[in-house]
Amino acid sequence: MFKRSEQDKRPPVQIFVDGVAIAARQGDTVSAALLASSCDARRSTAVSGAPRLPYCMMGVCFDCLVTIDGVGNRQGCLVPVAEGMQVEIQKGKREIGK
């Protein structure tokens, strides 16, 4: 859906999405890295299970919710990527232990 510009010279950062390595850049938010990758980042809602992707990218819509390093319902658009970060796409309601 999105591609990177050639002028982007930021260092690469590797994160994992449901265990699969994704190439991100330093300074990307988790949501930006997901949208720039080819992975299927659609979460499903806690209400009906409907598929969603980030909508506002500025921290207000909560459609970017992901599990980051084991913690559920994080706003992916506000969290910068870090080397080795483990991201899980959420399906439905958050689990209590996460």
Q: How far is the CB of 87 from another protein (least distance, A)?
A: 16
Q: In the range 50-89, which residues lie near another protein by CB under 8 A?
A: 50-63, 65, 71-73, 77-78, 80
Query: Taking a C-beta distance cutoff of 8 angstroms, is the pair 25, 37 a contact?
Result: no
Q: Does 11 bind another protein (CB under 8 A)?
A: no
Q: Nearest CA to 73 among 36, 30, 39?
A: 30
Q: Contact 90/44 with Cβ under 8 angstroms?
A: yes
**Phi/psi at 30 (5° precision):** -55, -45
Task: Give the CA angle between residues 10, 81, 87 to the nearest 5°.
Answer: 140
Least distance CB 12 / another protein (angstroms)? 12
Q: Per CB under 8 A, does 45 bind another protein?
A: yes
Q: CA–CA separation, 26 vs 73, rounded Å?
A: 22
Among residues 14, 20, 42, 69, the one that binds another protein under rule CB under 8 A: 42
Binding positions for another protein, rule: CB under 8 A: 1-10, 25, 27-29, 32, 35-36, 42, 45-48, 50-63, 65, 71-73, 77-78, 80, 92-98
